[in-house]
């Protein structure tokens, strides 16, 4: 099992992952940071736990929308997905779900500190 250090909202987190998945996790952390930065711009001064919760909700909403698209069998342009598109959408949905779970865990730990 590999270890990777992620920087999320200025904090470093060491997490385990499957060998070869380090770059993928770093990319997910970058995506999470983009969402957090968007929220910071629109929410003003809030606690870190609140910010992480809001980021989790935002990512969970994106995941929900991805599942709806998969269930409907449609891509963003309304055409039927190919099998490859559906597999890719499921991978994205799985990655977003994993990120949302991780953010919820981090937010819960921050609230308990």
pTM of the model: 0.64
Helices (H) and strands (E) in the chain, counts: 3, 2
pLDDT tens-place string over residues 68-109: 888 777 555 555 557 777 777 777 777 777 777 777 777 777
In the predicted structure, residue 8 carries a pLDDT above the cut 80: yes
pLDDT for the residue 94: 78
Phi, psi of 26 (to 5 degrees): -60, -40
Residue 9 in contact with residue 51, Cβ under 8 Å?
yes
Residues 6+ apart with CB under 8 A from 2: 16, 17, 18, 19, 20, 21, 22
Question: Would you call 20 helix, strand, or coil by DSSP?
Answer: coil
Domain ranges of the chain: 29-112
pLDDT for the residue 34: 93
pLDDT tens-place string over residues 19-35: 999 999 999 999 999 99
């Amino acid at each position: 099992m590999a270890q990777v250090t992620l920087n999320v909202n200025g904090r470093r987190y060491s997490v385990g992952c499957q060998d070869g998945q380090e770059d993928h996790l770093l990319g997910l952390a970058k995506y999470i940071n983009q969402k957090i930065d968007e929220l910071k711009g629109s929410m003003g001064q809030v606690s870190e736990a609140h910010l992480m919760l809001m980021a989790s909700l935002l990512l969970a909403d994106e995941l929900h929308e991805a599942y709806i698209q998969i269930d409907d069998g449609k891509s963003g342009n309304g055409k039927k997905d190919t099998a490859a598109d559906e597999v890719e959408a499921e991978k994205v949905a799985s990655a977003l779900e994993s990120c949302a779970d991780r953010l919820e865990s981090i937010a819960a730990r921050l609230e308990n500190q």
